[in-house]
Structure 1
């Protein structure tokens, strides 16, 4: 008979009956009912054209056909079991693969340079594609496999999305050197007395810092909105406007401008960065390896930005 006509699940029944010598014990081993095993044996007898086992008392004695067949069957089942159980190897040094990362501009500027440097050293055949996507689409793209990993602020996700906090940041205030309204330190009243630039992708609404101020019943005066922290840092270097932004990116974006960086003059919650991936990638060795590398490079941000 042709192999494609054979229900391969029935070979598990053949092996169990051969090993146990008894229908009842075979059913217990397979976690099936005794009638189900008997029915499976009947189907296998019909497909193979042989009795396969002959009952002698409580025992099932294999026929010569079964004795000849059981060796190859067991070898095939063991090979399949090892193939399923063994985790596929991943060698970064020789791997050829492209990873799509969901990174917004802040995380692209902070995470991508050290990540690219690490991959150049450890995995020269790995290619990265950094893409910006709407936060509402992150879960769908991870599920579809069009995105391998995403790095972003804490987001509400479904049960199929895994996430891990990999860094904590804080808000700081950027001001130009020799700002006429600020000395060596910056208190809340001085902060609120200045005009501000707000970075947001939205046309209207507050930034995180405004919500924090509002909890204290305070408001600041925003005279400029723009889309990117780098542009806002340049604005701050040429005006008396203050810019509030995450510290790690502030230290990178303001290196060339010589702006001063002050702690945000209000106690606020930490700015967490979370790494996201789909549950189907949990045990993918390549994805797991890249998650570990990203964890390493992100944990080194304070040293990277000194």
Structure 2
């Protein structure tokens, strides 16, 4: 790599680098940056010359990062976010005029509960803001907050490093759902009936017990899992057409009960509630736009979970 001389480096090249890395495609990167594809290709050529490395190589219909690109991407993103925060410090943020893109890491439960009120609020106050909701593995959330790949995350209580801040949104009790004409719907759902029934387990993991199974195992009990799937919406559609039971967060169950077809019962065993928190990196505190969005999220998400 050539000697570094920032006075001779176009820092916009790193904005292009980040866009290509995120999109994996020159055309989509150009659309993201509102540039022509030749302009993006020219910027990539200059970066390749600067680093003496291809940085991205064709893979199928996209562009795959080289080992060097993977090695520098986090530092590039942190530097870009620091520059953006520096430029934003002390500047008033006007939501009605803003056109930024923000990224939230959230699982399907939080998307279902929180996005409708949040987007209704954003459309009124900041109609040109774009919000992206992604599913990020929990083990990667803190790293992606630090690198700027995501701005916020809404998830259960997690261990955090010193540079990550968080605030509670609410506590979610767990409940049991079944179809409205289920054989058990007119009887008290006790532990014997619960463990005798077949269940749906929602999990992003390929295998392993759910929180309900840990509680059952502690008392020497177990249950039969007839279906393991990835999201609660699909699980509830199965519950509506079968005798399977589904244990899930109360807010989600109440929202889906409005559509009819299911009833809600208390879980007949001691389950700890889910503590849901909003997470962000400390550097976000210096960005008025992120702090404004944080407040909208705290209001919308906390309100939706009541």
TM-score (norm 2): 0.68
Could you list the per-position Cα deviations for residues 151-189 of structure 1 after superposition, in whole angstroms to 9, with x for gaps in the alignment?
111112211111111111111101011211342532222
Pairing partner for 1:119 from 119, 122, 141: 122
Higher relative contact order (CA 8 A, sep 6+): 2
Partner of 2:174: 171
Q: Determine whether 1:110 maps to 2:106.
A: no
Q: CA RMSD, aligned part only?
A: 2.2
Counterparts of 1:145 and 1:245 in 2: how far apart (Å)?
31
Q: What SS does the corresponding residue of 1:88 show, helix, strand or coil?
A: coil
Would you say 1:129 and 2:132 are equivalent positions? Answer: yes
Distance in 2 separating the partners of 1:170 and 1:133 = 23
Q: Aligned partners of 2:238 and 2:192: how far apart in 1?
A: 22
Deviation sequence 1:64-113 (CA, Å, 0-9, x none): xxxxxxxxxxxxxxxxxxx99x7321121222211011111111111111
**5+ unaligned residues in a row in structure 2: which ranges?**
1-85
| Aligned counterpart in structure 1 of residue 266 of structure 2, from 263, 266, 274 | 263
Distance in 2 (CA, whole Å) between partners of 1:204 and 1:134 is 15
Matches of 1:174 and 1:278, distance apart in 2: 37
Q: Secondary structure at the match of 1:141?
A: helix
Q: Deviations over 1:237-285 (max 9, x none)?
A: 1111101111111222343342001111122211111111001112321
Q: Does 1:186 align with 2:193?
A: no
1:98–1:126 contact (8 Å) kept in structure 2: yes
- Runs of at least 4 residues off by over 6 Å: none
Matches within 5 A, 1:194-209: 194-209=197-212
CA distance in 2, matches of 1:182, 1:221: 19
Q: Is the 8 A contact 1:119 1:126 kept in 2?
A: yes
1:161 to 164, 171, 177: 164
SS at match of 2:268: coil
Q: Indicate the residue corresponding to 2:3 in structure 1.
A: none
Shift of the 278–302 alpha-carbon distance from structure 1 to 2, 3 Å rule, reads: closer
Q: Counterpart in 2 of 1:225? A: 228
Identify the residue that residue 237 of structure 1 maps to in structure 2. Answer: 240
State which structure, 1 or 2, has the greater radius of gyration over its C-alpha atoms: 1
Shift of the alpha carbon at 1:302?
A: 5.0
